[in-house]
Amino acid sequence: MSVAEIMARACRRRILVPAFNIAYLPMMAPIVQTLREHDTFALVEVSQPDIEYFGAESYQAVATAFERCAERRVVRLHQDHVCVIDERGQRTDWQTRIQLALALGYDSVMLDGSRLPLAENIAATKTVVGMAHPAVAVEGELGAVLGHEHSPLPPHEEIMAAGYGFTDPGDVERFVRETGVDWLSVAAGNIHGAVAGVARDEEKVGTRLDLDHIQRLSECAKIPFVLHGGTGIDLDCVRQAAAYSMTKVNVGTAVRQPYEAALRRGESETEAQRAVAEAVARCIAEYDIAGSASRLASDTGLVTLPPRTGPGERNLEEQGR
């Protein structure tokens, strides 16, 4: 199956699909091996910050590391967070980055036009869809998932109360219809982990999601949603959000920090890789997704989570029949 079909099936069945950021190339092998051992489907992904701030080196290097160990039944390769305007407010050469990933055989790509006016975001994302489809899936973003800016974040309760950066439900239907994206990154209280300065080594602040807001978004779009900043979010929130189209969950800090911490302690690379594998296994257990690769390869049955009543949940159940 294409990754777009796998994700659509996961959305209907409420199966979470983690996407693990490859901040350092040696992280690839233990992530893939752990997915294989647990028969769990996930993505591995790389973003520009992984290349600039950490040790991912390049899109080419990550693609090469993926090809060495990938078993496509359990894992696919995603280009994460290609920003049109970056966290410094600078325009990027986003088309060249997308073209490179397509040439390297990435299974899916993401254009983040969230810092653009809506019409410009739609136009840029539609351009990427034209470049990538039908072979490669495309993720877009609406709203502003905070955390990579160079200024301090407001307290999380203030973000929740004011709805800072929250995706506007009024924009979602138009964006999906006019762009043709396969997945949509949305903002509803989630924040990115820090990538620069001392904060990158600190424990990520605990967060929660506005589930009612996510339900409203899901009523406007019948495609999988993406949760950026998955580390540190209340697990019940993440599990319940799966009832409202939340499918792909980006996990970076939770797998990067154990790797870095092991090396700082003077442990070997093998021991650091073992720490990554343990972090991935914890994620699989917390999301209750062991065996998801086989379930997604099958055409039978729904995987359900604790119910939340409302039209968003009913729509997903109807799609899964």
* CATH number of the CATH domain containing 236: 3.20.20.70
pLDDT band at 301 (very low <50, low <70, confident <90, very high): very low
pLDDT at 314: 31
pLDDT at 320: 36
pLDDT at 161: 57
Picking from 95-99, 157-161, 279-283, which range would have the lowest pLDDT averaged per residue?
157-161
For residue 321, being part of any structural domain is answered with no
Over residues 212-230, the mean pLDDT reads 92
Strand locations in the chain (E): 17-21, 42-46, 75-83, 108-112, 137-141, 183-185, 225-227, 246-251
Higher pLDDT, 163 or 316: 163
pLDDT at 79: 98
Q: Cα 17 to the chain's mean position, in Å?
A: 8
Distances (CA, A) of 62 to 53, 201, 248, 257: 15, 23, 20, 19
pLDDT at 89: 87
pLDDT band at 160 (very low <50, low <70, confident <90, very high): low
- Which residues make Cβ contacts (< 8 Å) with residue 251, sequence separation at least 6? 18, 19, 20, 21, 230, 231, 283
For residue 259, being part of any structural domain is answered with yes
For residue 24, being part of any structural domain is answered with yes
pLDDT at 126: 98
- Is residue 93's pLDDT more than 80? yes
For residue 164, being part of any structural domain is answered with yes
- How far apart CA 246 and CA 188 sit, in angstroms, is 11
Count of structural domains, the chain: 1
pLDDT digits (tens, 9 = 90+) for 194-213: 444 545 555 546 677 889 99
**DSSP line for 221-276:** --S-EEES--TTB-HHHHHHHGGGTEEEEEE-HHHHHHHHHHHHTT--HHHHHHHH
For residue 319, being part of any structural domain is answered with no
For residue 320, being part of any structural domain is answered with no
For residue 168, being part of any structural domain is answered with yes
Q: What average pLDDT does the chain have?
A: 87
- Is residue 151's pLDDT more than 80? no
- The boundaries of the domain holding residue 243 are 3-314
Contact predicate 132/138, CB 8 Å:
yes
For residue 281, being part of any structural domain is answered with yes
Strands 183-185 and 108-112: unpaired
Long-range contacts of range 303-311, CB-CB < 8 Å, 24 or more positions apart? 303/13, 303/14, 303/15, 304/14, 305/14, 305/239, 305/240, 305/242, 305/243, 306/239, 306/240, 307/243, 308/211, 308/215, 308/240, 308/243, 308/244, 310/215, 311/215, 311/219
